[in-house]
């Protein structure tokens, strides 16, 4: 049944959905900074198209994807205007931001890895490109708004993108149908991030051993 | 009368002026961080050529504009050295920084939109490219110097660049003479930003409704 | 004797060494943020390949250097995993970070200038490209980890990269053997930075004159 749906159609819609949810996460961050509506639109647009833009720049494939496809910009601006008025209705904008970011992370790690493989990159590069596509839009958002990057929060974050991109590259190398690889990788990345968000789970982190460091005070 | 002046000449000089005033804003920011003269030169150069560099990268037009035109670098370094010695003479360096940044913003929103249209982009992309060209040089400056991005200050900022770029694209589409479109767009952007600076005017901003948010504490 | 060693071999190994020490500096910064092992790998990779990536983007030479050379990524990830376990053994991770960063700075200012000259850039552009290659990997590292950029610290920093790149460009223009130019420039940059680190030396900095500024309070 699923095999009857063309993969390009799925990837195309996932891409649109990823841009939209990252644009929403940008608008919600703008709301935390009490920006005006143009600020909402700018942060939403940069967040929505930022990850894919950096991916296209690194792959060196000429003008980035939205330069001749302005509908991406209309989508981001539309989401920004909607949230400028609708955000106050959200029970908790910070939780909404985290979930929109999680969905974008899961979508873009697949899209990024898929685009890199299509451009002929080896698998390891495709995994990194998935992680960069998934995390750098949000990073630019947080830098633009002077917020602490989500990547620094305790819960599993970049790990979800890395595993998701790895699942896609692995299934692709194993000859799986593109649609199966896409959906499995998305579900894996989103599931891992969701567990991190709902349970506060994290990988074992590096811990300073107190008393061994000079110049590290306050970080231990 | 003005029609006798070739538009390329006007755009060329505006470009030089934009690089110079943004370089000055970078040097003034470096002065606030008490950098040495090499730090002045680096921050001035990155701020002066940063916006146009990002625009060229996104348009995918090969090496960025200054790689084979080193006079841009000499201009930035010259401005930096001048301000390293002259900045103490300024009554208020922070006000000077804001006005230099405003002039750069108004010039670069026009230059960015014009370059995008020339590269064949649709109007909406040209407006975004104007905003990016106008705001990202200053953003890199503020990140480099760990200052709060100007884009986050309360006064109208990105809005001025967006309206200026929009005026240029609109007049261009309406068949206006390039020079008229250029000057009208510059005047619009600078005027809007100047009103924001002198009157402290701002667009209506998004306001949190207190008591509705968890996890948002301290941002409301 | 040294003349018998092919310059490409030297530059190639310097490049690998630069990526490795910057990857180490990224991993040490990740350790200060108590990241998990994937965070270590991401920060190490972005720091290790960041400077050269930005250089390649600016030169417009197509896909950046690591897209078809994944061994750079394996190197960065290997360094990250090693330091995830080995960092606690270091007496002072902050000093180790500073020295790894200094070695990377000295290597990359040469590599960046050399790559720019090879791409046909004029000497002034090659110096800037050396400084950007040497400092922007570390800048992205510090932004990613929300640390104060090293470039803002009081000791000589960008100056070391600028002088090193200048020595390389100057010796190259004077017809010196590539290997002599490479080693002299590396030694100059590392020596200057080492003096800054060990003696706390700095160039004369710009100083506010108290009582002359409004709006500058707290920066003087």
Residue extents of the structural domains in chain C: 7-199
Q: What is the pLDDT of residue C169?
A: 97
For A151-169, what is the mean pLDDT? 87
- Please report the pLDDT score of residue B149 as a whole number: 80
pLDDT > 60? residue A181: yes
Contact by Cβ (8 Å): A22, A138: yes
pLDDT at A54: 93
Position of tokens 């873009």? A108
* Chain B contact present for C58, CB below 8 A: yes
Contacts of A148 in chain C (CB under 8 A): 146
Q: Residue A145: which residues within 8 A CB-CB, separation 6 or more?
A: A29, A30, A32, A33, A43, B152
pLDDT of res. A207? 58
Residues in Cβ contact with B30 at an 8 Å cutoff, skipping those fewer than 6 apart: B39, B40, B43, B44, B80, B145, C206
pLDDT higher than threshold 60 for residue A209: no
**Whether pLDDT at A117 is above 90:** yes
Query: How far from each other are the two terminal CA atoms of chain C, in whole angstroms?
Result: 54
Token pair 């006005």 in the structure block, residue: B99
Residue A165 near residue A190 (C-beta atoms within 8 A): no
Cβ-based contacts of A58 with chain C (< 8 Å): 53, 57, 63-64, 67
pLDDT at A84: 92
Contact C134, C161 (CB under 8 A): yes
* C92:A213 CB<8 A: yes
Say which of B37, B67, B146 has its CB closest to residue C203. Answer: B37
Per-residue confidence (pLDDT) for residue C32, from 0 to 100? 83
Classify residue C85 by burial, with Cβ atoms within 10 Å: 0-12, 13-18, 19+.
exposed
Query: Is residue C206 scored above 80 in pLDDT?
Result: no
pLDDT at C24: 93
Q: How far apart are CA C50 and CA C46, in angstroms?
A: 5
- The rounded distance, in Å, linking the Cα atoms of A50 and A53 is 5
Which chain C residues are within 8 Å of B37, Cβ to Cβ? 203-204, 206
C94 touches A at CB < 8 Å = yes
B164 to chain C, closest Cα gap in Å:
27
Q: Any CB–CB contact under 8 A between C201 and chain B? A: no
Contact B65, C60 (CB under 8 A): no
Q: What one-character DSSP code corresponds to residue A36?
A: B
Residue B210, pLDDT > 50, answer no
Runs of H (alpha helix) within chain C: 7-32, 37-59, 71-86, 93-118, 123-144, 158-173, 178-199
Question: Other C-beta atoms within 10 Å of A117: how many?
Answer: 20
Kindly determine whether residue B35 and residue C206, on different chains, have CB atoms separated by under 8 Å.
yes
Q: How far apart are CA B125 and CA B133, in angstroms?
A: 12
- pLDDT band for position A202 (50/70/90)? low
DSSP C144: H
How many degrees, rounded to 5, is the angle at CA A128 between CA A125 and CA A132?
135
Sequence-distant (≥ 6) Cβ neighbours of residue B9 within 8 angstroms: none
**Is the pLDDT at B165 greater than 70, yes or no?**
yes
CB-CB under 8 Å, A204 with C94: no
Spatial separation of the C-alpha atoms in residues A149 and C30, rounded to whole Å? 13
């Amino acid at each position: 049944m699923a095999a009857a749906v063309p993969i390009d159609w799925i990837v195309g819609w996932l891409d649109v959905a990823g841009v939209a949810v990252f644009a929403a996460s940008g608008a919600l961050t703008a709301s935390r900074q009490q920006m005006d509506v143009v600020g909402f639109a700018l942060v939403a647009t940069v967040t929505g198209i930022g990850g894919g833009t950096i991916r296209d720049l690194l792959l060196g494939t000429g003008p980035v994807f939205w330069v001749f496809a302005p509908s991406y910009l209309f989508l981001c601006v539309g989401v920004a205007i909607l949230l400028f008025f609708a955000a106050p209705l959200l029970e908790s904008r910070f939780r909404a931001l985290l979930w929109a970011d999680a969905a974008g992370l899961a979508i873009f790690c697949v899209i990024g890895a898929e685009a890199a493989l299509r451009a002929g990159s080896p698998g390891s590069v495709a995994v990194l490109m998935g992680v960069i596509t998934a995390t750098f839009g949000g990073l630019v958002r947080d830098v633009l708004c002077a917020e602490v990057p989500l990547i620094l929060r305790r819960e599993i974050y970049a790990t979800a993108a890395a595993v998701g991109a790895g699942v896609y590259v692995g299934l692709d190398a194993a000859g799986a149908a593109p649609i199966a690889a896409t959906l499995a990788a998305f579900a894996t990345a989103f599931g891992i991030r969701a567990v991190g968000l709902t349970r506060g789970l994290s990988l074992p982190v590096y811990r300073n051993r107190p008393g061994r460091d000079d110049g590290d005070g306050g970080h231990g």
